[in-house]
Amino acid sequence: MIIKPKVRGFICTNAHPQGCAAHVREQIDFIKAKGPIAGGPKNVLVIGCSTGYGLASRITAAFGSQAKTVGVAFEKAPTDRKTGSAGYYNTAAFHAAAEAEGLFAASVNGDAFSDEIKDKTLALVKQHLGKVDLVVYSLASPRRTDPKTGIMHSSVLKPIGEGYTAKNLNTDTLKISDITVEPANEEEIANTVKVMGGEDWELWIDALQQADLLADNCRTVAYTYLGEKLTWPIYGHATIGKAKEDLDRASRAINERLAAKQGQANVSVLKALVTQSSSAIPIMPLYISLVYKVMKEEGTHEGCIEQLYRLFTEGLYTDQPRLDDSNRLRMDNLELTPETQAKIEALWPQVTEENLFDITDYKGYNDDFLKLFGFGLKGVDYDAETDPMVPAPFVD
């Protein structure tokens, strides 16, 4: 088939296998060019390993530190008539590259919130890694079924307390108009915490600890975004922000449990970037387009892989980690400098449909969005007949 992007709203419903492979290759090349990461991990579990920050974590561990990796993701396999999901192709490309360098990699496809997938993953870890020295928790999901009650909880992206009206870019029509988001009720807040809070991170660590699969001095990290004034009403001070606060609680609880092993848990604050998850958050596409514009002009622009390289070298594996007073590793420092935020805040009210491509870097945003699905990569022939099938990267 000829594979061209099929974009519907903030998602792209197909993906290009060779394009995704080229995107993974770009990230591997970036990490290899940086050279080995001193003191990096050797046996790594990445929960949410197939796209965005989780994929970049896995690539950094494997190609920066020669780590064996086990990954968990929730992805769609291709058929003769329909492409697989980007994360499926990314995982296939990651496996091929790891195998070519003699690096062990195994991946599980399924619901990471379930006991069944935890058991399956732990069995793989036990068989191939022994004990893990790094556990990355990088899930972004709109819903979670609690394994104990069987109840499915759905998260919402809503403000807390009062409604919020703000400028929003419709990425389908490129129209800019105000959107109003009504405040969440208590049940919606609780459900969002249930899905995106720290409970499942704790369950993973408990399961690994009970199976004696955590190495002494092991590290574990979960990702969050804090942002500043412009994004607080929809992120930091909203339902998702409440869920992310719960990660801080979970981090403290995990630290107590890991104390005997000298293990350490941290939340890491990463910068706002286009991923399959962030593109779904109101306001974010416009905000990120401005972040791109300002940070590219400043020479401080970073993608997922640059952020992860810094997390390993300036956060996890250094004697002088950049920690805040809540024990969080801060990799969002460049986005949140007062100068950068002031420039973004000054541009924000000026953006119109007419000047979108001048005042903001919407083009850069959109190019990166398409790259997430393997489109727009150099060296890929998008007019060529392409087989959607690739060797299955996941264990049965």
Residues labelled catalytic: 235
* 244 is annotated as contributing to ligand binding: yes
- CB of 225 or CB of 292, closer to ligand NAD: 225
Of 137, 376, 362, the residue nearest 267 (C-alpha): 137
Question: Per-residue x/- mask for ligand NAD, residues 80 to 109, rule CB under 6 A?
Answer: -------x----------------------
Residue 72 contacts ligand NAD per CB under 6 A: yes
Residue 369 contacts ligand NAD per CB under 6 A: no
Residue 192 contacts ligand NAD per CB under 6 A: no
Judged by CB under 6 A, the residue of 3, 37, 64, 75 near ligand NAD is 75
Q: How many CA atoms lie within 13 A of 223 on its CB side?
A: 28
Alpha-carbon torsion 262, 37, 244, 153, what sign? negative
Residues in contact with ligand NAD, counted by CB under 6 A, come to a total of 29
Residue 10 contacts ligand NAD per CB under 6 A: no
Q: How far apart are the first and last CA of the chain?
A: 27
Helix, strand, or coil (residue 71): strand
Instruction: Return the range that interacts with ligand NAD (CB under 6 A); candidates 33-41, 147-155, 276-284, 355-363.
Output: 276-284
Residue 275 contacts ligand NAD per CB under 6 A: yes
Q: CB of 37 within 8 A of CB of 60?
A: yes
Residue 223 contacts ligand NAD per CB under 6 A: yes
CA gap 127, 213 in Å, rounded: 10
* 51 is annotated as contributing to ligand binding: yes
Residue 373 contacts ligand NAD per CB under 6 A: no
CA gap 95, 115 in Å, rounded: 25
**Contacting residues for 38 by C-beta, under 8 A, at least 6 apart:** 317
The token pair that represents 192 in the structure block: 């969002």
Total Cβ atoms within 10 A of residue 136: 30
* 74 is annotated as contributing to ligand binding: yes
Residue 141 contacts ligand NAD per CB under 6 A: yes
CA angle in degrees (0–180, nearest 5) for 317-323-329: 65
- CB of 87 or CB of 354, closer to ligand NAD: 87
- CB of 223 or CB of 312, closer to ligand NAD: 223
State the minimum distance, in angstroms, from the CB of residue 342 to ligand NAD. 21
Residue 59 contacts ligand NAD per CB under 6 A: no
State the minimum distance, in angstroms, from the CB of residue 292 to ligand NAD. 12
- Residue number of the CB atom closest to ligand NAD: 52
Helix, strand, or coil (residue 28): helix
State the minimum distance, in angstroms, from the CB of residue 91 to ligand NAD. 9
State the minimum distance, in angstroms, from the CB of residue 139 to ligand NAD. 4
Judged by CB under 6 A, the residue of 61, 67, 112, 234 near ligand NAD is 112
**Contacting residues for 329 by C-beta, under 8 A, at least 6 apart:** 221, 266, 267, 268, 269, 311, 315, 316, 321, 322, 323
Tell me the DSSP string of 297-359: HHT----HHHHHHHHIIIIISSSS--B-TTS-EE--TTTT-HHHHHHHHHHGGG--TTTHHHH
State the minimum distance, in angstroms, from the CB of residue 315 to ligand NAD. 14
Residue 50 contacts ligand NAD per CB under 6 A: yes
* 53 is annotated as contributing to ligand binding: yes
Helix, strand, or coil (residue 69): strand
CA gap 98, 92 in Å, rounded: 10
- CB of 124 or CB of 215, closer to ligand NAD: 124
Binding residue numbers for substrate: 225
Enumerate binding residues for ligand NAD (CB under 6 A).
48-54, 72-75, 87, 111-113, 138-141, 223-225, 270, 272-273, 275-278
Residues that constitute the known binding site for NAD(+): 48-53, 74-75, 111-112, 139-140, 244, 273-275
